[in-house]
Structure 1
Amino acid sequence: MGKKLEGNRLFDNSRMMLTDERKREEMERMLSLSLREHVRVTVVWYDSVEELQQSGFITSIHAHSREIKLQWADEWKWIGLDRILEVYPG
């Protein structure tokens, strides 16, 4: 059984990769919903040192640079889609 390195994860077979693909599609759906309907989401992502988490609203999605803009209170942050680990309501 071959192993495949994708992003920062190692997959043993294609079934695991499909599960990850479904999760990625669900996260992208939540991000789009937040942008379109102003729904609050919590985004979990990693930077070079640790996992970070922030709740807010998606105010922009840049497909060409693969980034989202997460805004909360008077602050905002651009986050690369490839760094996002999880997105959920609230």
Structure 2
Amino acid sequence: MSKKLEGNGFWESSRIIIPEHKEAYLKLMKDRQRRGKPVLDDQELQLIEQALIESYNTRTAVTVTVFSPFDDEVMTGVVTSINTASREVKLFRGEDDFSWIKLEDIISAIV
């Protein structure tokens, strides 16, 4: 007799994964890979702020690493605006390409 029909084989061979379960499982696996935000000391924060201010004043390019829970994003551009009220900087990266980046999301900046 076939092994599929013996013991629990009948139910084991008829399992089906519906798309909703697959999506939930993949989301759970992705959430398990989530990283925590690194804690920066005061000296590192000052170096980041100095690099951003220097880029703003001299219109030179700065390379900024922006934190993301899954994969950090590295951007290069010129700081064209600093909004102290909302604690954001405007990074101009090309002709019509710019991004507003929150200061608390920046984990490194190099001029």
Q: Give the shorter-chain TM-score range.
A: 0.7 to 0.9
Q: What RMSD over aligned residues (CA atoms) do the two structures have, in Å?
A: 1.8
Tell me the distance in 2 between the aligned counterparts of 1:31 and 1:9. Answer: 19
Bigger helix share = 2
Tell me the distance in 1 between the aligned counterparts of 2:53 and 2:107. Answer: 16
Tell me the distance in 2 between the aligned counterparts of 1:9 and 1:76. Answer: 25
Q: Is 1:57 matched with 2:86? A: no
Tell me the distance in 1 between the aligned counterparts of 2:69 and 2:80. Answer: 24
Bigger strand share = 1
Give the alignment's TM-score, normalised by structure 2: 0.62
Structure 2 gaps of 5+ residues are: 1-35
Q: Percent identity?
A: 28
Q: Is 1:79 matched with 2:101? A: yes
- Residue 87 of structure 2 aligns with an amino acid whose one-letter code is R
Higher radius of gyration, 1 or 2 = 2
2:51 to 11, 16, 30: 30
- The runs of at least 4 consecutive aligned structure 1 residues that moved more than 6 Å come to none
1:14-65: CA deviation from partner (whole Å, max 9, x where unpaired): xxx7xx1101001101100100110110000023542101111000010110
Structure 1 gaps of 5+ residues are: 1-6, 11-16
- Residue 37 of structure 2 aligns with an amino acid whose one-letter code is N
1:59-87: CA deviation from partner (whole Å, max 9, x where unpaired): 00101100000011120000000000100
